[in-house]
Homo-oligomer: A and B are copies of this chain.
């Protein structure tokens, strides 16, 4: 074909397949959301509409990609997790990341007017997201990743809640509030909230304190210690799964409802009662 003369340029494409049998986390982040949240007057410290929109877009991503086993969102970031057995797009890094980033962006823009009915998008101020993939060799470290994000959520939210209360209710300037909070620990911030403003941080909404977990819902199980390494089993075992078994699994995943929770994912309980997330084997569909 006439084209072949230039086709050598394809040889410059470099493979980017992610190591087999590892957890893949794709984390996306809002680009320039600081400026954006000013422009669209997001409520401080948390804009419920913005978080709900993030979650709604994340649910659509989960639905479109049944290979995803869990997602976790806080502020303008969202992490999506593929199971070690995932073979989607032959595990190509670029393909996985851009597909998630683009799908998320599409739904975020499309649903904007639903969550911000009175604040239309105004180009060039269109929200967009960047993303990256990181792989983790076992479920212990994957859980440490998830814990890292949830601890981060807690730390930031406690800070932001205190800061904005001092500003909004306490009438302090941004600079003064920032200055006073420098070097404080959690206890100090809790005390400021409680003593000065009568706010018990524990009573704040869970979505702000815990962030948002999205996953497919099967019937909860009795909390039994997770097999340390259901996911670490040799791939030999998996190879034995027949094609029809795999199809059955896919179908079950598609059938399961994708839910949004605001719960602790650092302790074992969340994972023990939902063993399908780590094992990759769908549980029983709720009646």
Contacts and interface: CB of A to CB of B under 8 A. Distances in A.
Nearest to A102: B128
A7 B7 CA distance: 33
Interface in A111-136: 121, 123-124, 126-136
Contacts of A5: 151, 236
A190 to B, nearest CB: 13
Interface string A82-117: 001000000001110111011101111110000000
Interface stretch (A13-21, A69-77, A191-199): A13-21
A8 B235 contact: yes
A55 B131 CA distance: 24
A135 B136 CA distance: 12
A45 interface: no
Number of copies: 4
Contact of A21 (B17, B101, B106, B137): B137
A241 interface: no
A93 B130 CA distance: 11
Interface stretch (A141-149, A204-212, A215-223, A277-285): A141-149
A186 interface: yes
B144 A6 contact: yes
Contact of A13 (B16, B102, B132): B132
A149 to B, nearest CB: 9
Contacts of A13: 132, 134
A262 to B, nearest CB: 19
A41 interface: no
Overall SS of chain A's interface: helix
A62 to B, nearest CB: 12
Contacts of A3: 148, 151-152, 155
B144 A123 contact: no
Given A12-B141, A31-B103, A140-B233, 10 more contacts: A9-B134, A19-B137, A31-B102, A97-B97, A98-B130, A99-B128, A102-B128, A106-B128, A110-B123, A140-B232
Contacts of A242: none
A132 B94 contact: yes
29 contacts: A2-B186, A3-B148, A3-B151, A3-B152, A6-B236, A8-B239, A11-B20, A12-B135, A14-B19, A19-B137, A95-B130, A97-B97, A102-B128, A103-B128, A105-B106, A105-B128, A106-B126, A106-B127, A106-B128, A107-B123, A109-B109, A110-B123, A137-B232, A138-B232, A140-B229, A140-B233, A144-B234, A228-B228, A228-B232
